[in-house]
Amino acid sequence: MSEQNKTVVRRIIDEHWNNRNAAIVGELFASNVSLDTPDGVLTGLEGAGSLLQAYETAFPDFHNTTDDLFAVGDQVVVRWTFTGKNSGPFGDIAATGKQVTVPGCIGIFQLDGGKVNQAHMAWDKYSLFQQLGVIASSASASAEASG
């Protein structure tokens, strides 16, 4: 079962996210899925689809590189690196044209019947905002404070 669950999570990263395949959301996620993300808690197939849509809009060329992936029982843990150029709006933030790299993104996916029914995802949104230039980096904030 663990290998089958790992395959589902690989498909989320490779087919759904990286290949922008919104049509397979129902194959990968349970209809009542709950995704706890830095962007808020997203529920149902609409929520799972909206996560892809938000990042595809803001970073049309984004790519997630899987760094680690392992499974224990009905859970799959994945660590990935997000890269992309901010070419569209990201919520209330206008496109900056900046390239970003966010390593250390983590997802803990719980599966039932071959579909994700719950996930807890974390990534460094603070670093993402720093790279976009919408908040000061620690170094520049320190320099301004001491200057």
pLDDT in tens, 72-120: 999 999 999 999 999 999 999 999 999 999 999 999 999 999 999 999 9
pLDDT tens for 45-76 read 999 999 999 999 999 999 999 999 999 999 99
Instruction: Kindly report the CATH class assigned to 2-133.
Output: alpha beta
- Output the six-digit token pair for 57: 């809009």
> Rounded to an integer, what distance in angstroms lies between the CA atom of residue 139 and that of residue 37?
27
Compute the 3-state secondary structure of the chain and give helix, strand, coil in percent, each to the nearest 5: 40, 40, 20
b (16+ CB within 10 A) / e for 89-100:
ebeeeebbeeeb
Whether the Cβ atoms of residue 110 and residue 74 lie closer than 8 Å to each other: yes
CA separation for the pair 131, 147 (Å, rounded): 22
Q: What is the DSSP letter of 16?
A: I
Q: State how far the Cα of 140 lies from the Cα of 144, in Å rounded to an integer.
A: 6
Q: Domain spans of the chain?
A: 2-133
Sign of CA dihedral 44, 47, 48, 53: positive
Tell me, what's the pLDDT at 145?
53
Rounded-to-integer distance, Cα 98 and Cα 144, Å = 22
pLDDT band at 1; cut points 50, 70, 90: confident
* 147 pLDDT higher than 90: no
